[in-house]
Amino acid sequence: MKKRILRHLNPKFSRRRFLQMSGAAAGTAALGLSFAQPTFGGSAGQKVLVYVFLRGGIDGLSLLPPIAGADYGFYVDARDRTLVDINDSDVANRPIPLVNGQDLGFHPYCQGLADIYHDGGLAVVQAAGHPPNTFTRSHFDAQEQIELGQPLVVGGSGQSLPASGWLTRYLQTAPGVPSANAVFTAMVSNSTPPASLGGWPDVATLDSPDSFSPNSGHFGDTHRAVLGSLYSGTGELDVAAGAALDAVDLINSLDLDNYEPGGGVEYPDSGEGRDLRLIAQLIRQNIGIATATIDTGGWDTHNNQNVFGGGFGSNVEDLSEALTAFYRDLEGAGYIDDVAVVVQSEFGRQVKENANFGTDHGLGNPMLVLGGGVSGGQVYGQTDGIAPSARVGDSLVPKTDFRNVLGEVASGLLGNPNVDDIFADTSFTYQPVGFSA
């Protein structure tokens, strides 16, 4: 099974179109790459940021429900039909208590993530989201503002969003990016890059798990030979095209079907599992990947949320199994210290379930951070709790600006000190959360 890993290649090429689709000429031409057969080995030291976006607004109160204290009582009162309950008669339906977890527990389908947490490789930041005066419950607005790294004041005038995504600015300012052996620096799980990578020229797409191989279909040997002869000169355009073709040759040389994950891990047969498996394999090939994004949907649970079984429960199980396999793979192969994973959704859900056995758009939500450098096994961040008097519009109030979490991943875990340039907002003052200590 081959993944599609190309910069939007199409059989109908012009010289101009080819270079537009294969990355910025200036960026790739400077590399002048040629490749030997890659080998597995120890980490090359390239830091990698993996950004997992849960689109639709995951119900953080079901992912990490309160299991003790006053909030547990408020939770039970609000969710008498849709509930992950510490007192459930079925032990398999009870949350997994977290040591140093501020009375929170993982959903019972998240045993793998709970194990990583207790091993010290996962940190939870509770009640994260937009800062005061910028709260929004619009999927589009919340996602756009997060991915561009710029919340907007509600009702404010004269505001504008950045022209590039926060991951683009991270890459632009990260020391050592691109690395000397870079084939491509960014990869995405969809057919088009997300807004977080807007403006970054060097992006590989991974959109079709089963339908593409660089040695067949639209990009067969004949196309490769013709393109190689067309771009065989020494000019900037020729070198850029040659670099793109070298990238295709390298990807085609990988034995994607027979990959052996570290530590004897088995990835789940799910979209997230297949995407993360490929990302792990390419990280281990030391080809200069500095960031990768994964998008998952199905989190907008207004109706029949199904905390167990299908729906929400299945989505949570798939997410946990995929992230666990990815972490354990790179841990077993000796790469996890150079990788940081952030899991984020645009907002949470309201505390009280609705009449349709679901939950409506909320505000504050947990963010997860995984990696070898994480000071994990702890829940970070403050919260006002979910007492009725503490809620805003029946929602948990965000207390940690999401940019502080992303900024600490960039600086504290991955060594990019330029947080002020990543989030170029004069009203924002970066304050580390503490998980990189």
Question: Token pair of 65, please?
Answer: 């429900």
Would you place residue 229 in the very low, low, confident or very high pLDDT band (cuts 50, 70, 90)?
confident
Q: Which of 6-10, 129-133, 195-199 has the lowest mean pLDDT?
A: 6-10
CA distance 121 to 43: 18
d(CA 33, CA 180): 9
Which whole number is the average pLDDT over 341-352?
98
More confident residue, 228 or 264: 264
Position 215 pLDDT exceeds 70: no
| pLDDT the model gives residue 368 | 99
pLDDT at 266 over 80: yes
Of the two residues 288 and 115, the one the predictor is more confident about is: 115
User: Contact, 3 vs 212, CB < 8 A?
Assistant: yes
- Position of tokens 């109908």? 12
Q: Is the pLDDT of residue 76 over 80?
A: yes
Q: Contact 277/331 with Cβ under 8 angstroms?
A: no
Instruction: Label residues 108-130 b or e (16+ Cβ within 10 Å = b).
Output: bbbebbbbbbbeebbbbbbbbbb
Q: Side chain identity at 155, as an amino acid letter?
A: G
pLDDT tens per residue across span 125-145: 999 999 999 999 999 999 999
Q: How far apart are CA 13 and CA 210, in angstroms?
A: 24
Mean pLDDT of the 265-280 span: 94
| CA atoms of 360 and 394, how far apart (whole Å) | 10
The full DSSP string for 338-379 is GEEEEEEES--B-SS--TTSS--B-S-EEEEEEETT---SEE
What is the distance between the alpha carbons of residues 368 and 365, in angstroms, rounded to a whole number?
A: 10
Burial class of residue 60, CB neighbours in 10 A (0-12, 13-18, 19+): buried
Measured distance CA(80)–CA(338) in Å, rounded: 43
| pLDDT more than 70, % of the chain | 81
Other Cβ atoms within 10 Å of 6 Cβ, number: 22
Residue pair 410/416 in contact by the 8 Å Cβ criterion:
yes
At a CB cut-off of 8 Å and minimum separation 6, what does 14 contact? none
pLDDT tens by residue, 232-251: 777 767 766 666 676 667 66
Coil, strand or helix at 226: helix
Indicate the burial class of 139 (C-beta count within 10 angstroms; 0-12, 13-18, 19 or more): middle
Q: What is the pLDDT of residue 418?
A: 96
pLDDT of residue 258: 86
Statement: residue 16 has pLDDT above 80: no
48 close to 338: Cβ distance less than 8 angstroms: yes
Region 102-112: what's the mean pLDDT?
Answer: 98
b/e burial code for range 178-208 (CB count within 10 A of at least 16 → b): bbeebbbbbbbbeeebbbbbbebbbbbbbbe
Query: Is beta strand 400-401 parallel, antiparallel or unpaired with respect to 378-380?
Result: unpaired
Reported as a single tens digit per residue, the pLDDT across 392-434 is: 999 999 999 999 999 999 999 999 999 999 998 989 999 999 9
For residue 35, pLDDT beyond 70: no
Report the pLDDT value the prediction gives residue 247, as an integer from 0 to 100: 66
pLDDT of 217 higher than 50: no
Q: Which of 1-5, 61-65, 322-326 has the lowest mean pLDDT?
A: 1-5
Judged against a pLDDT cut of 70, whether residue 20 lies above it is answered with: no
- pTM over 0.85, yes/no: yes
pLDDT for 221: 65
pLDDT exceeds cutoff 70 at 331: yes
Could you report the per-residue pLDDT of 58-69, keeping only the tens digit for each?
999 999 999 999
Look at residue 305 in the predicted model and tell me its pLDDT: 96
CA distance 360 to 132: 20
Buried b (16+ CB within 10 A) or exposed e, 308-341: beebbbebbbbbbbbbbbbbbbbbebebbebbbb
